[in-house]
Amino acid sequence: MTRQDVLDGIVRILKEVKTVDQEALKNISEDSDFIADLGLPSTEMINIIAKAEDEFQLEFDDDDVDALDSKVSETIDLVMRTQQKK
């Protein structure tokens, strides 16, 4: 799985979230911020992470999830790290 594959999966997840600025998804990149750039309420971050676990068939360590900030790149890093541990 490549970083682009993970980004594509995140976009699939975000397309189903009503609170996300769907127009902003057209310009999403690793440098995007879920909250500042995509309009995702901070309270929704945990739901996105849970959906990412389902999307990529992974289970993230709670400590890793707690350490995340709202950058898309950090979520991609988490998916890639967890995939490598598998």
pTM for the structure as a whole: 0.93
User: What are the φ and ψ backbone dihedral angles of 53, each rounded to 5 degrees?
Assistant: -60, -45
Q: What pLDDT digit, counting tens, does each position of 6-41 carry? A: 999 999 999 999 989 999 999 999 999 999 999 999
* Cα–Cα distance, 17 to 13 (Å, whole number): 7
The pLDDT-based confidence of 86 (bands split at 50, 70, 90) is confident
For domain 3-85, give the CATH superfamily.
Answer: ACP-like (1.10.1200.10)
Spacing of C-alpha 37 from chain mean position: 13
pLDDT at 49: 96
